[in-house]
Amino acid sequence: MKKLIALLMVFSLLLSFTACNKYNDISENEQPTNPSAEAKTELTMAYTVDPEGLDPHRTAAASTFSVTNNIYDTLVGVTPEWEIIPRLAKSWKISEDGMSITFALREDVYFHNDRQMKASDVEYSFNRLKDAESPKARDYANIINVEVLDDFNIKFSTETLDVELLKNFAYPWTAIVPEEAVDNLKTNPVGTGAFILKEWVPQQHIILERNDNYYGDKAKLETVKLVLIPDATSMMAGLQVGDLDIIPLTGDQVTMIESNDDYKVLSKPMNAVQIMSINTDNEILANEKVRQAIALAINKDEVIEASMFGYGDKIGSHLPPTSPDYYDTNDTMEYNLERARDLLKEAGYENGFEIKMSLPKNYQLHVDAGQVIADQLSKIGINVKIELIEWGTWVSEVYGAKKFETTVVGHTGRLDSYDFLSRYYSDSQDYISLKTGEVDDLLNQALQELDVAKRTELYQEIQIILANKLPAVYLQTPHTLLGLNKNVEGMEIFPIDIYDYKTVYFTE
Amino acid sequence: MIGYIINRIKSSIVVLFVVSVITFVVLMIIPGNPAQLILGTEATPEMVEDLHTAMGLNRPFYEQYFDWLFDFVKLDMGISYLYGESVTDLIFNALPVTLSVSVFSMVIATLMAFVFGIISAIKKDSLIDYFSRSIMQLGTAIPSFWIGMVFVVYLGLRMKLFPISGFVSPEDNFLEFIRSITLPSVVLAIGEIGLLLRIVRSSMLESLKQDYMDMARVKGLSTSKIYIKYALRGALIAPLTIIGMQFAKLVGGTVVVETVFALPGIGRLVLTAVEHRDIVLLQGLVMFITTFVIVITLAVDVIIMFINPRIKSFQRGEQ
């Protein structure tokens, strides 16, 4: 027994010693900083989901692209204001018929293995992107020829006219990779980017180190440490004790941060839409009046409040307000319970009906929205039976096999309106589509229309049709929310799922 | 005893085989196509089919299974298609984290359970007995994620006594290692302590009632000798079995605590593998955890045989 007590005492001593040690650390850190001291160059940011490997051509995961965008470069880039800017390509020329595009590449670009990047690397990368194993292959099927003109000029030709072609070269999955390194890209990425991967410990952290051989403006930060913290409370605590400089926030956490001068909040509408998808193969939901009644009975402000604590913008179609082609259709089906009840009566469902709503339980945003909608629909006699399903099952059953009645989910991260809207082709085989064929011609015309203003008009027409026909109820564009230490500057939110640490720096 | 162990190993191999077949079959039956999951919500059916084929997932079930089995026998558990790393490496990277937390929490739970369990049995119906029975109730009733949150907020954030998240390897900094695993271990220990305390207390009470205890008292042995040498030794069997089971359970079941404290252990790896339908990784993890449980159970049985010769002779007779 004495030994036992001695052991316990040693243990408690050890704990108190380590605790004292931490206090010493804190008091050292809290000493007044020397005003002439140089600003910090090591950034620590939290993330919630590990990347699906670091090979940009072999995944569709946003978690991968937010990291790989800093390791690899693409031919062109996009600004937070949606402007397409040069990156590896210093300039480009689109042929008069719009069927080909020629890029002039920078000559001062080197891969992380010190080999110079040439047009043949671009050719190799695009051929790899078009492989069967590439999740994005189909998006580039229209490119039928990649021709190396010389070491620094390369020409892409398409089979049919695609007026939005240039934007397709800005997505992070079009990263340029060196052929000699592709076998291990998933764990040992080799790119031309502003940062080099120093270490990736799955489930723990990713460390990026500045690439001093970068062709453009070098990053101000020396290292970026991304720490995996799946729990939101722990993440918030990490920011407050100073372990983390940037964290993703949920809507309810914003007020905690906003009231404290030590932190700031970065809030910007995502380039995404949250929708309530409706399966029009269902006998009841095939009725347009029923869908309209559902839309009229949903109070989107309440949905936004419940799911994003107000950090979202109401939408009326499948384009986010951030899109240059967005047309405000919010007033087409404004919240009106009386009209909803009338329409339901006209449709022959005066006494209401029962429908199932399959919600992806891994996404609290969609679960919260779905629960509010279920409550709202009960007011017009529609009894919604909620079914929470795990994401893997959701993707296969709801999205893949179309076995659902209604669901709530988000669609994100595309730069051109056609990519957002093309799922509404009547023969698109998508889990939602407008099977009456009303938008088919308009979509075809939009893809062929070289005049930007006319193209925008076509997209507007499509949005008006969607707002009336309602193959889905369009809910909101949620905001991206980041909590930052007050001394972090230069962090921006982009219309595609990327972060760019090159521009981030500390002020003190 | 060697014969007994060999027999147990033989039956373990059968168990492992059955588990591997069941896991493979279950993964084939449950909804969730890994190719669809990788491609996400922008994929067309053709794209899913193409990737499914490229990943070799449309081959006949038995072909995929036997390929995997032959590699497993060669100790090659394949490459995780989520991380692109060897499954063996991923498991062995996560193992030290989970083992550290599990061992530390079992040490805390065992110490507490034995100290309070023995005292409360000896001093039955006293104040300390009521106190330890309250610990029992609390430990069983309070969910570990809640205790975890409370610890994060008070001990980590307010008092700054312990780091809030992450794991520090003992080779990097031993003190930081201890600090990084203390909170999660205490949280886990609280979850385990209730059951263990109850078993220690009741075994000890049972042991104290035995005739040989009276005999020891009559012989005039010292109180401490009576309690420790006779009562406790007789009362060890049930708690040891439970400790073994609890420890084995912890290695595969620390998901919640590993999530709250952002620890890169086995539990989180299992969760990630399930969420991403990473069949290769999941299969490796299931086999690893099964093997671990079998080994621990065997080790506990052997220890118990050493402690209690009656069980040893019984098992010999069984053979």
Q: Among A26, A53, A241, whose Cβ lies nearest the Cβ of B157?
A: A241
Residue B106: the pLDDT is: 92
**Per-residue pLDDT at A207 exceeds 60:** yes
Contact (CB<8Å) A240/B182: no
**Rounded mean pLDDT of chain A?**
89
Interface contact A390-B275, CB threshold 8 A: yes
Q: Which of A125-129, A214-218, A410-414, B174-178 has the lowest mean pLDDT?
A: A410-414
Residue A499 confidence (pLDDT) above 60? yes
A202 CB neighbours in chain B (<8 A) are 83, 85, 90, 93, 264
Q: Identify the residue with better confidence: B105 or A20.
A: B105
Residue B35: how many other CB atoms lie within 10 Å: 24
Cα angle, residue A130 at apex, residues A127 and A134 outer, rounded to 5°: 120
Contact state of B36 with A395 under an 8 Å Cβ cutoff: yes
Give the mean pLDDT of B153-165: 83
Predicted local distance difference test score (pLDDT) of residue A31 = 40
Q: Measure the CA–CA gap between A211 and A32, rounded to whole angstroms.
A: 32
A contacts of B43 (beta carbons < 8 Å)? 60, 135, 399-400
Tell me: pLDDT of A191 over 60. yes
Contact A108, A207 (CB under 8 A): no
Contact B205, B121 (CB under 8 A): yes
What confidence category does residue B9 fall into, taking pLDDT thresholds of 50, 70 and 90?
confident
Q: Quick: pLDDT tens for A126-161.
A: 999 998 778 888 889 899 999 999 999 999 999 998
pLDDT band at B224 (very low <50, low <70, confident <90, very high): confident
Query: What share of chain A in percent tops pLDDT 70?
Result: 93
- pLDDT for the residue numbered B165: 80
pLDDT of B227 strictly over 80: no
Averaged pLDDT for residues B280-289: 89
pLDDT tens-digit profile of A446-490?
988 888 899 999 999 999 999 999 999 999 999 999 999 999 999
| pLDDT beyond 70 at A11 | no
The model's pLDDT over B198-218, given as tens digits with 9 standing for 90+, comes to: 888 888 888 887 777 777 777
Minimal Cβ distance to B94: which of A22, A203, A230 = A203
pLDDT of residue A348: 94
Question: Residue B63, Cβ neighbours under 10 Å: how many?
Answer: 10
Give this prediction's pTM.
0.81
pLDDT for A32 beyond 70: no
pLDDT at B97 over 50: yes
> Contact at 8 Å (CB) between B272 and B97?
no
Residues 6+ apart with CB under 8 A from B66: none
What is the Cα–Cα distance from B182 to B162, expressed in whole angstroms? Answer: 8
Considering only residues B66 and A29, tell me which one the structure prediction assigns the higher pLDDT: B66
* Cα angle B246, B251, B253; round to 5: 80
Under DSSP, is residue A355 helix (H, G, I), strand (E, B) or coil? strand
Confidence tier at B310 by pLDDT (50, 70, 90): low
Residue A191 is encoded by which pair of tokens? 């790119």
Least confident of A400-404, B77-81, B177-181: B77-81
Mean per-residue pLDDT for B73-87?
Answer: 86
Which two three-digit tokens encode residue A445?
A: 């015309």
Cβ atoms A289, A344 nearer than 8 A: yes
What pLDDT does residue B277 have?
82
Q: Which of these, A115, A114, A112, A109, lies nearest to A75 by C-alpha position? A: A109
A residues 10-69 near B, CB within 8 Å?
14-15, 17-19, 21-23, 26, 50, 52-53, 55, 59-61
| pLDDT score of B53 | 83
Q: Would you say residue B29 has pLDDT above 50?
A: yes
Neighbouring C-beta atoms of residue A274, cutoff 10 Å: 27
Residue A107 near chain B (CB below 8 Å): no
pLDDT tens per residue, range A260-317:
899 999 999 999 999 999 999 999 999 999 999 999 999 999 999 999 999 999 999 9
CB B16 within 8 A of CB B294: yes
Q: Tell me whether A7 touches chain B (CB under 8 Å).
A: yes
Provide the pLDDT for residue A318: 94
DSSP notation for A198-225: EEEETTTEEEEEE-TT-SSSPPS-SEEE
Angle between helices A452-469 and A288-297 (to 10 degrees): 90
| Average pLDDT for A413-435 | 88
As for the ipTM of the complex, it is 0.75
* Antiparallel, parallel or unpaired: β A505-506 and A488-489: antiparallel
pLDDT digits (tens, 9 = 90+) for A53-74: 999 998 888 889 999 999 999 9
Across the range A245-253, mean pLDDT stands at 91
Q: For chain A, how far is it from start to end, CA to CA, in angstroms?
A: 55
pLDDT of residue B311 exceeding 80, the answer is: no
Residue with tokens 């069927």: A99
Distances (CA, A) of B303 to A103, A283, A342, B10, B225: 73, 66, 76, 20, 22
* Overall size of chain B counted in residues: 319
Helical (H) or strand (E) element with A480: strand A472-485
Task: Name the average pLDDT for chain B.
Answer: 83
Which of B224, B261, B277 minimises the CB distance to A392?
B277
Q: How far apart are CA A317 and CA A411, in angstroms?
A: 12
Half-sphere exposure in the Cβ direction for A378 (13 Å, CA)? 11
Classify residue A306 by burial, with Cβ atoms within 10 Å: 0-12, 13-18, 19+. Answer: middle
pLDDT of residue B212: 76
Cβ–Cβ gap B31/A238 under 8 Å? no
pLDDT for residue B222 is more than 90: no
At residue A148, the pLDDT reads 97
What number is the average pLDDT over the span A216-230?
A: 94
Cβ <8 Å between A132 and B157: no
Per-residue pLDDT tens for A81-92? 889 999 999 999
CB contact under 8 A, A15 and B182: yes
Question: Per residue in A107-135, pLDDT tens?
Answer: 999 999 999 999 999 999 999 999 877 88
pLDDT in tens, A437-450: 999 999 999 988 88
User: Could you tell me if A243 lies within 8 Å of chain B, comparing CB atoms?
Assistant: yes
Q: Which of A5, A9, A52 to mutate to test the interface with B (most CBs of B within 10 A)?
A: A52
